[in-house]
Structure 1
């Protein structure tokens, strides 16, 4: 990449990060180009889709997140690792409004620019869950898809202003349910 193109690329990412932090994942590509003082064609040459832009923005964060899963896998008990992983995920999800919906959609779409990153997060989650299940501390009636779904749901929920302050509490509620190690058929229904 030429020096001027590399400078444009870095500048666009910096501006995009600011705009998306302010406006969320639905920020206009035109607005990003305007604020970066480049033409829309220049922005689209670097990032042909919104997902490609998010992949570039999130790559470092997602790599760090999956690296954290690797560390948790070797340094914590399986149950503690799963709770810490959930907390790390929620912190990540709160860093970019609307990113969870993009990731949830990309999760099953191999053509998405975010697919590889989503697959890495999914794989790390599934490994941590299987480890806790093997130890006997996690429910055995769920799999990596279930865990990814719960993570996405929680990430979406804490993206909403009324729930953001309760993020840590909600992490504990969900992880307590996962670590309860009881099949869903054993859950008692409330009496009326």
Structure 2
């Protein structure tokens, strides 16, 4: 059953409302891909052939619209996390999944920054993206820590922030397409037990 922005069951939309909702999502997806997540909401409404009031009735905030646009990608990332949960190399699986998040965030300029700024803000509409991703990542992280390949003091919140920071760095360095991979490789090295804070420098 669909839910409202507050989490309560949502009443079924009329046919015209469903049509407007679909148009707005399609145009927002295109606009975000072309112009970034700060694309004009007025322009999105115009391209969807509805008034700005109609947009705000469906999506009270920009973050609410962003969350709806990115739900398909979030579902895909969660599915991938479940596939990787059976890997016999849990640390590699974790980093591969974090790389998938970087790829996803890189599809829309400004998304990484938005996710970073709302990572711990459960009141934001983007929590609909952050929360399930954090839960999926926690499972992969726990497996890696149980295997002894990831330090026990690593938290999923820190990893998500680090991943979004990598995506943001890659976004701001378009002339260096390998930057994200290099940073993820450094992340993999830093997750290991020998990289703990008590380890001697250079180990």
Same fold (TM over 0.5): yes
1:8 positional shift? 1.3
Q: How does 1:92-111 map to 2 (within 5 A)?
A: 92-111=104-123
Aligned residue runs from structure 1 range 17-166, under 5 A: 17-160=29-172, 161-166=174-179
Q: Distance in 1 between matches of 2:31 and 2:136?
A: 30
> 4+ runs of 1 displaced by more than 4 Å?
none
* CA-based RMSD: 1.8
1:179 & 1:164 partners in 2: Cα distance? 26
**1:132 positional shift:** 0.9
Q: Which has the higher helix share?
A: 1
Task: Please name the residue that 2:10 is paired with.
Answer: none
**2:4 matched to which residue of 1?**
none
Q: Which residue of 1 aligns with 2:197?
A: 184
Once the two structures are TM-superposed, the CA of residue 176 in structure 1 deviates from its matched residue by 2.2
- SS for the counterpart of 1:95 is coil
Gaps in structure 2 of 5+ consecutive residues:
1-12
Q: Give aligned pairs, total.
A: 189
Work out whether 1:173 is the aligned partner of 2:173. Answer: no
Q: Unmatched 5+ residue regions in structure 1? A: none
